[in-house]
Chains A and B, each alone.
Chain A
Amino acid sequence: MSDAALAVRGLTVHFRVRRGLVGSRVVRAVDGVDLALGPGETLGVAGESGSGKSTIARSLVHLTRPNGGTITLGETDVTSLRGAALRRYRRRMQMVYQDPYDSLDPRMTVRDAIGEALAVRGLSRDRRPGEVARLLSRVNLPDALAARYPGQLSGGQRQRVSIARALAVEPDVIICDEAVAALDVSIRAQVLNLLKDIQRDTGVAYLFISHDLSTLRFVADRVAIMYVGRVVEHGPSLELFAEPLHPYTRALIAAVPSVTARGTKRLHLAGEPPDPANPPTGCPFHPRCPEAIDECRRVRPELTVVGPGRSVACHVAVRSFRSPRSAAEPSR
């Protein structure tokens, strides 16, 4: 596997949506997002629905054409690849979806589904059965499953097959878009452990998209929190969850129901995420923010570096870092 790292700069994806009979509006699904992913690393992307996290994933695998920004894999700018070059690139970046039903052909056996990916890698026909067996054992599935169809597998087995299929082309990066969200708790733990084992053995990097913060805390090295198309906070996973800086991150963490924190009052975050076609002025979070000041209503905060690997897009949080008195205690 090469030393390629994924770098996304200023990624912007706008959709034009029709309103009524004549008018149309622009939805800024992703609005100037920077992400970087090193080899063998896991970057978690969290956010609620409409935050743009899946649109990023779709842009990375060229299912959605970005309006601006660049995507670099290793040394190659892959933003506007076409034809054979695009096909070569696709091998290096694979995607595992929430529902393997969406990505596995129901009329193809497990052997054929993985074999197809091996053909893409250019493996000769006679070497494929052995490689299918190796990949299945890599994802802890018995070889006997190779003859089955996706419909004959359990949800957990299907997700393992799609992981095996993604691994078949020896990618540099696997994008896991809510890859464990549909799995039962006991199966989810197995698959998360498996993904970590695979990373340790192959050095593959994961871009792990999830709305589930406790999953991200376990699986990700760094986490980016998104809100309405932008990254609002970014930092090393454990630090970010222990000491969130953005009021939105704090609200998200507080809203996670946990068996250990039972009996504590759920935090009230009023309202819903804004309509991305019509975001509020200033900071898009200000209508829901318990700490909003006047500046938040007028000026949109930029993502600002406030510590090693840590950045936040919040006037109040950045200010508390700038003032020397409170710098020692960043989360107030």
Chain B
Amino acid sequence: MNHQSRRAETTPIPTDVDARRDPVVELDDLSVAFGSGSDEVEVVRGVSLRIERGQRVGLVGESGSGKSVTARAIMQLLPAPGRVSSGRVLIEGAVASPRGARRWRGTTVAMITQDPLSSLNPLVRIGAQMTEMLRHHRGLSRAQARAQALELLEAVGIPDPPRTFRQFPSVLSGGMRQRVALAIAISCRPRLLIADEPTTALDVTIQAQVLDLLEAMSAESESAVLLISHDLGVVANFCDTIVVMYAGRVVETGTTDQILDETAHPYTLALLASVPSMGGDLPERLASIPGSPPAPGVVTPGCPFAPRCPIAQDRCSREAPALVGPPGRSVACHAFGDASWPRPVSVGGAP
């Protein structure tokens, strides 16, 4: 299945939740906190998200927005002292807990990170790391696992699989390492692959290769992908659905076309405007967002974006806007839909 038909398939959003396909992963009002008592810092606040089979969801936000913590919460791999302070993670309908994670981690949900060295054991040859996974999770024999590993290395575009099979991670280039990490992640045909900034450390030509690979892999095995990135360009090119986070909250969700063409949140709008373009006239200055995001855990009574927002009203600094809209298309902004809104937008069903 190609990218276009997949996107077309997900564009009409059924409002009846029951009519939708079963989610692979569901986040239900998830909050994650670090520390305790008066030192408690909530870095993810009330995030709800639903990822269906084969869907490609982009999670966009700047550093400190809580996107990587959300990913680690799904994997039940929150670094201490982080913990889920409220809400829950559902993996194929069952509530996930760190203790039961062995049953699905790596098989139902797999993850690759920005730096594959952090997930590859530096002292173990690539081949041994791959076959261990295949024998443990898929119960293959030693010979079968070896054959399968070589096949996977071939599939991710490693030029000389038998040679790489014998090598240690440290001798590979960044792009090659990310391919190996991807090969390991897909070796157990996960139903959801979480890719946390998978191409950030890579050169742009290698980035394009890795994204193509990710696309082919997810299409082939019908894996859903949660692509976490600060780069709107990468997400817009790869995902059918986009979730925008700011200061630990989801501020806007929608299909890629909706987010880019019918942008609803002033933060998303500002984010889009602050990227220099590769074509057209050159502006004297880039549109920039004044100030900087609040430090993680700083909780204000109002909208977290209000201090930087060009259309903020009194109300915005007093009460936090709720995320409203039909499933799959929502925005958290008081101004949305009223007269102060700077541009015409059309979002079906929003108030």
A-B contact count (CB 8 A): 130
B275-A185 in contact (CB<8A): yes
Count of A interface residues, CB-CB < 8 Å: 44
* Residues of chain A within 8 A of B292, CB atoms compared: 154, 156-157, 186-187
B236-A257 in contact (CB<8A): yes
Asked if A214 meets B260 with Cβ closer than 8 Å, knowing A189-B286, A259-B236, the reply is no
* Residues of chain A within 8 A of B286, CB atoms compared: 189, 192-193, 218
What's the Cα separation between A181 and B302 when bound, in Å?
A: 31
A252-B237 in contact (CB<8A): no
Is B230 among interface residues, defined by CB-CB distance under 8 A? Answer: yes
A266-B236 in contact (CB<8A): no
Is B108 among interface residues, defined by CB-CB distance under 8 A? Answer: no
**What string of 1s and 0s marks CB contacts (under 8 Å) between A173-203 and chain B?**
0000000000011111110110010000000
What's the Cα separation between A273 and B203 when bound, in Å?
A: 10
* Residues of chain A within 8 A of B288, CB atoms compared: 186, 189-190, 193
Asked if A184 meets B63 with Cβ closer than 8 Å, knowing A252-B204, A256-B204, A258-B278, the reply is yes
Task: List B220-240 residues whose CB lies under 8 Å from chain A.
Answer: 230-234, 236-238
B205-A251 in contact (CB<8A): yes
Is B262 among interface residues, defined by CB-CB distance under 8 A? Answer: no
* Residues of chain A within 8 A of B206, CB atoms compared: 48, 272
* Residues of chain A within 8 A of B293, CB atoms compared: 184, 186
B285-A260 in contact (CB<8A): no
Is B81 among interface residues, defined by CB-CB distance under 8 A? Answer: no
A255-B205 in contact (CB<8A): yes
A259-B204 in contact (CB<8A): no
B260-A48 in contact (CB<8A): no
Task: List B1-24 residues whose CB lies under 8 Å from chain A.
Answer: 3-4
What's the Cα separation between A154 and B236 when bound, in Å?
A: 28
Residue of A nearest to B211 (CB): A266
Chain B's nearest CB lies how many Å from the CB of A145?
13
Chain A's nearest CB lies how many Å from the CB of B180?
14
* Residues of chain A within 8 A of B236, CB atoms compared: 257-259, 262
Residue of A nearest to B295 (CB): A154
What's the Cα separation between A242 and B277 when bound, in Å?
A: 12
Asked if A266 meets B282 with Cβ closer than 8 Å, knowing A48-B205, A257-B236, A258-B233, the reply is no
A262-B205 in contact (CB<8A): no
Q: B282's contact among A190, A217, A251, by CB below 8 Å, is which?
A: A217
Task: List A141-190 residues whose CB lies under 8 Å from chain B.
Answer: 154-157, 184-190
Q: B205's contact among A217, A252, A260, by CB below 8 Å, is which?
A: A252
B260-A262 in contact (CB<8A): yes
Chain B's nearest CB lies how many Å from the CB of A225?
12
Is B207 among interface residues, defined by CB-CB distance under 8 A? Answer: yes
* Partner-A contacts on B (CB < 8 A): 3-4, 62-63, 173-176, 203-209, 211-212, 230-234, 236-238, 256, 260, 270-272, 274-279, 282-290, 292-293, 295
Can you name 12 A-B residue pairings with CB atoms under 8 Å?
A48-B206, A49-B203, A157-B292, A184-B293, A189-B286, A189-B287, A251-B205, A255-B204, A256-B278, A259-B260, A268-B212, A269-B205
Additional A-B contact list (11), CB under 8 Å, known A269-B205, A269-B208: A184-B230, A189-B289, A190-B288, A192-B286, A211-B203, A214-B277, A252-B204, A257-B207, A257-B234, A272-B206, A273-B203
